[in-house]
A and B are shown apart, each in its own frame.
Chain A
Amino acid sequence: MIRLGALGLGLLFVITVLWGAIQPRDVVPEDPVEKLHLHPKEIAWTHNGPGNLGVLGTFDRKQLQRGFQVYKEICSACHSINRIAFRDLAALGFSEPEVKAIAAQYEVASIDDKTGEPATRTATPADKFPLNYPNEIAARAAQNGAYPPDLSLMTKAREDGVNYVHSLLTGYADAPANWTVPDGLYYNPYFKSLNIAMPPPLAADDQITYADGTKATREQMSKDVTAFLTWTAEPKLEARKETGVAAIIFLLILTGLGYLSYRKVWADIKGKARSNVVDNV
């Protein structure tokens, strides 16, 4: 009875789903965006370690500091990094007085302790980088309808995010003849809709002057700020990989010992089976 019912039910499901399969499909016109869209370029990063495998690797502190400078002098005009506190910058190799000095350049919201009115005060290392706009509506109003997202998590919030950010920053190009870019937007084949509202942020070499004397080519600035944004998205990356190496070494030894004890425990059972074979030959 169960099997008869199953047969009926099975036929019902099979016929229904195959009925859908044999329906003619509408011809889907080729998506012009998909044709022009490019996947991020594969770039070697120090935080990806040898072979760019992502297993080992550490941040280049000098590069992170340069990247922070790029962020501060260019990106921060529109984009916040609100998940980062000034104290976190110590991880980039800044000393305590340097962190304090950086924080002192920012104003954060507070309350006037006499009147209780909203006020601002100078930021301390414990504060987070302030938002550029109080909310999305204010941002769009100021940015001609576009919304510059917070960059703290950007390299994790996009597919292949680290390569994506670098590709996007260096990927601005002239639109091909068959593609029209609406007014106020820019052509970038790495952006999902190809038309991005952000004007090319790294417009020319030597747009900024690096404190450490590195030549500020567009490629260099893009790589540096991408490395910095990798750090903002995954500040514990180095601790994670270090812990991982230790954990794997420990577990390999433990597993090896486990295997030896398994062989030893089973020696009498497996040995007996083998010796029986010999006995009877």
Chain B
Amino acid sequence: MSFPWAKQYQPTTELGKFMDSRLPLPRFVHGALGAGYPTPKNLNYFYNFGVLAGVALVIQIITGVVLGMHYAANVAVAFDSVEHIMRDVNSGWMMRYMHAVGASFFFGVVYVHIFRGLYYGSYKPPREVLWMLGLVIFLLMMATAFMGYVLVWGQMSFWGATVITGLFSAIPLVGNVIQTWLLGGFAPDNATLNRFFSLHYLLPFVIFGVIILHVWSLHIPGSNNPTGVDVKGPQDTVPFHPYYTAKDFFGLGVYLTLFAAVVFFAPNALGEADNYIPANSLSTPAHIVPEWYFWPFYAILRAFTTDFLFIPAKLWGVIAMFASILLLFFLPWLDTSPVRSNSYRPLNRILFWVFVAVCLVLGVCGGKPAAEPWVRLSQVLTAYYFAHFLIITPLVSRFEKTLPLPSSISDAVLAKYGKTPTGGSGGLGGAAAQPAE
């Protein structure tokens, strides 16, 4: 950790001293999550969602490992083995519902986490790598969730797998070869199910590894904060433990209460009824839709309906869908504004909320059948999605007149309680927009 006032780890017991000179694991934990990690003292509840995402992953891994003990990855019995878990395995219904609902909650939490990063400019220097690692985690999550959904081997599993792997067939020349290679055949079958199970078991641990890198790269510059202003000294920070462990524990309680409410009282509310019908390659469901957390991207995929510049519509959709996420990797260089937090960016703040609304409505469009008015609406919104990042953001960050920043986090905290700080540093009005580094 980079702040010089971070409290150093001091082993007090004999065992502690013994370990510290051999494998300094306690020192590592102290530095990562303990009092050795000074954290801005003004973090709001949106900063809970990183920890919540970590907990959501752990819940998925624990319930998933238990489910894996009873699940059988074979097309003849996969669906039956899921029902066996639901009916005959002790508390199997609870494990499965926690796992299924947990996936939805994981995505929900991660979306809040991502939008929090967008609002407070957490992707800006010096946190670009931190942001990009987060996007890698997001992509891995999407792959994992998709393959996990296929494992149930219900109707939507089968047809979802058909549609999503079919996307690769849009690639010119080699598309069909790639699709066949991914599926291990010409259509989803036992080879597909087996490899998806294998990868679905592997990827969460890869995600865990990338999370370690994500947290590591967080701890180099330290956490961003709602003002976006850099930490200036010890008066701006509190030790992570006990301050943020206490706050995160409270946030976790709220999260788990909501999670339990859905798991126990409405476990199928977020799922598709069709997936309780065993997979049948001869009967296509009327509407093939992914889970809700993929809806905005599904809407972008389906928004491209005309061939253009000799590129077929389907390939445009596939390119756009992948581009919609990949362009986020370039966001730190597209948004050049020196001010991080949207609290001090009046124009960009409005555009942020417009973008949130666009994503939500795109999600609604993605869950609807491909018919009017939804197609045309998703076309307009898709255009805005790309314009937001690729055109509007670079222009706004160049020409926007930002509000004066507080001179420090402490000043901002004091201002919140209705007082102009006195401590000589120029006060609220004095600080010009400072470079974000």
Question: Which residues of A line the B interface, CB within 8 A?
Answer: 2-3, 6-7, 9-11, 13-21, 23, 25, 28, 54-55, 83, 88, 152-153, 156-159, 161, 192, 233, 235-236, 239-241, 243-245, 247-248, 251-252, 254-255, 258-259, 261-262, 265-266, 269, 273-274, 276-277, 280-281
Contacts and interface: CB of A to CB of B under 8 A. Distances in A.
B123 interface: no
B276 A157 contact: yes
A280 B419 contact: yes
Interface string B418-429: 110010000000
A17 B309 CA distance: 12
Given A18-B383, A156-B276, A240-B97, 14 more contacts: A2-B330, A3-B333, A13-B383, A16-B316, A20-B303, A20-B306, A21-B383, A83-B83, A158-B273, A247-B264, A248-B257, A258-B246, A269-B238, A276-B417
A6 B330 contact: yes
> For chain B, which range describes its interface: under 10, 10 to 19, 20 to 34, or 35 or more residues?
35 or more
B390 A153 contact: no
Contacts of B303: 17, 20
Contacts of B143: none
A155 B372 CA distance: 31
B247 A153 contact: no
A254 B257 CA distance: 10
Interface string B267-290: 110000110110000000010000
Contact of A6 (B246, B250, B391): B391
Contacts of B309: 16
Contacts of B389: 6, 10
B260 to A, nearest CB: 5
Interface stretch (B61-69, B86-94, B163-171): B86-94
Nearest to A192: B286
A11 to B, nearest CB: 7
Contact of A20 (B83, B273, B276, B304): B304
B336 A243 contact: no
A2 B333 contact: yes
Q: Which 3 A-B pairs have the closest CB atoms?
A: A244-B264, A10-B390, A255-B253
Nearest to B371: A28
Contacts of A20: 303-306, 308, 313, 379
A18 B323 contact: no
Nearest to B333: A2
- Name the residue among A20, A258, A281 with the largest chain B CB count within 10 angstroms: A20
Interface in B238-272: 238, 242-243, 246-247, 249-250, 252-254, 256-257, 260-261, 263-268
Contacts of B334: 2-3, 6
Contacts of A10: 386-387, 389-391
Contacts of A236: 86-87, 93
Nearest to B379: A21
B376 A21 contact: yes
Contacts of B41: 269
B50 interface: no
B413 A156 contact: no
A251 B83 contact: no
A180 B403 CA distance: 69
B382 interface: yes
Nearest to B384: A14
B394 interface: yes
A262 B247 contact: yes
B380 interface: yes
A128 B306 CA distance: 53
Contacts of A252: 257
A10 to B, nearest CB: 3
A57 to B, nearest CB: 10
B296 to A, nearest CB: 14
A21 B334 CA distance: 27
Contacts of A262: 246-247, 249-250
B414 A18 contact: no
B320 interface: yes
Interface in B363-400: 371-372, 376, 379-380, 382-383, 386-387, 389-391, 394
A11 B383 contact: no
Interface string B169-206: 00000000000000000000000000000000000000
A255 B417 contact: no
Contact of A54 (B93, B265, B277, B316): B265
15 contacts: A9-B386, A10-B389, A10-B391, A18-B380, A20-B305, A21-B376, A28-B372, A156-B273, A157-B277, A158-B273, A161-B273, A252-B257, A258-B249, A261-B246, A277-B419
Nearest to B320: A13
Nearest to B249: A258
A241 B264 contact: yes
Contacts of B94: 240, 243
A255 B258 CA distance: 11
A103 to B, nearest CB: 17
Contacts of B306: 16, 19-20, 23
Interface in B294-322: 303-306, 308-309, 313, 316, 320
Contacts of A280: 419, 422
